[in-house]
């Protein structure tokens, strides 16, 4: 059995990182530096958005970053694990990626990706620390990616960082992956690769939910009942809430 805190992913202390809780959405709008100051945002310089593949992290993160005037980056840009095993315009699935998903069990796929995230964490933490220490306009960062494992994020010592995880119903993940991969017109071999990727993503989310529950961390459920603008508003609402649980006091270093 694969444990969520394996491969060096065990947390050190959960109270160091403010957690964004599920709250009613705000009207969509850009936030000026003055609005951020009045709301207490001057003490939050990094917003982390985690979740499994196709939960909507990238889309929500871009919108949140745009509204806050922050930079937006993905942990995938630091070092990429074998990615999505289906063809896209101008890109064919590399042989090693197809072999990865065709030859490994779901547990082995989980072990592989968690090992990758454990090795990537020092680079992620350096990026977070650099932006958390920044001052002035444009110094903030919205960082998204599945590599933001909650047990590891909980051990951060940067009080100017806030974190939220997006989750989605398994049926939503399946529909999104089938649509993105052209599953209906794919060959039998291509479908097997998509099925393996989907199975890994669902298992990853199951472990994610268990880990969030273990550490008392909340997630935002996304899907038809909470489209992207509403999800972005819910993240902003949690960031701006002056009395959000585990949020650092204004002026924290």
Please report the pLDDT score of residue 219 as a whole number. 87
The pair of three-digit structure tokens given for residue 253, joined into one six-digit string: 């270093």
Lowest mean pLDDT among 86-95, 153-162, 168-177, 241-250: 241-250
pLDDT exceeds cutoff 90 at 21: no
Rounded Cα distance, 240 and 172, in Å = 29
Q: Which residue has the tokens 């000026």?
A: 32
pLDDT band, very low/low/confident/very high, at 137 (cuts 50, 70, 90)? low
Give the H/E segment covering residue 48.
Answer: strand 46-51
pLDDT exceeds cutoff 90 at 133: no
pLDDT exceeds cutoff 60 at 38: no
pLDDT exceeds cutoff 80 at 114: yes
Is the Cβ–Cβ distance between 155 and 147 less than 8 Å? no
Distance of CA 101 to the CA centre of its chain: 22
SS3 call for 165: strand
Is the Cβ–Cβ distance between 63 and 236 less than 8 Å? no
The percent of residues above 70 in pLDDT, for the chain, comes to 75
Average pLDDT in the 71-94 region? 91
The percent of residues above 90 in pLDDT, for the chain, comes to 60
**pTM for the predicted model, two decimal places:** 0.82
Is the Cβ–Cβ distance between 69 and 140 less than 8 Å? yes
Q: Print the SS3 string covering 115-163.
A: HHHHHHHHHHHHHHHHHHCCCCCCCCEEEECCCCCHHHHCCCCCCCEEE
Return the axis-axis angle of helices 57-68 and 228-240, rounded to nearest 10°: 50
More confident residue, 89 or 146: 146
More confident residue, 218 or 184: 184
Is the Cβ–Cβ distance between 113 and 204 less than 8 Å? yes
Average pLDDT, the chain: 81
pLDDT exceeds cutoff 80 at 37: no
């Amino acid at each position: 059995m694969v444990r969520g805190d394996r491969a060096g992913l065990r947390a050190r202390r959960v109270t160091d990182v403010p957690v964004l809780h599920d709250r009613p959405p705000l009207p969509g709008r850009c936030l000026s530096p003055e609005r951020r100051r009045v709301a207490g945002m001057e003490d939050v310089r990094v917003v982390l958005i985690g979740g499994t593949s196709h939960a909507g992290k990238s889309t929500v993160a871009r919108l949140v970053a745009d509204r806050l005037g922050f930079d937006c980056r993905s942990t995938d840009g630091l070092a990429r694990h074998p990615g999505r095993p289906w063809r896209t315009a101008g890109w064919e699935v590399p042989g090693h990626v197809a072999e990865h998903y065709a030859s490994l069990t779901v547990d082995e796929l989980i072990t592989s990706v968690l090992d990758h995230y454990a090795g990537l964490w020092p680079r992620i933490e350096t990026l977070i620390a650099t932006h958390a220490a920044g001052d002035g306009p444009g110094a903030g960062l919205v960082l998204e990616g599945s590599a933001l494992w909650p047990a590891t994020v909980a051990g951060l010592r940067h009080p100017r960082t806030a974190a939220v995880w997006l989750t989605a119903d398994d049926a939503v993940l399946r529909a999104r992956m089938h649509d993105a991969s052209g599953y209906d017109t794919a060959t039998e071999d291509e479908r097997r690769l998509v099925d393996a990727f989907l199975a890994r993503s669902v298992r990853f989310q199951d472990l994610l939910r268990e880990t969030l529950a273990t550490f008392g961390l909340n997630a935002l459920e996304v899907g038809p009942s909470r489209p992207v603008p509403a999800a972005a508003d819910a993240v902003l609402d949690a960031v701006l809430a002056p009395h959000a649980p585990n949020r650092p006091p204004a002026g924290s270093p």
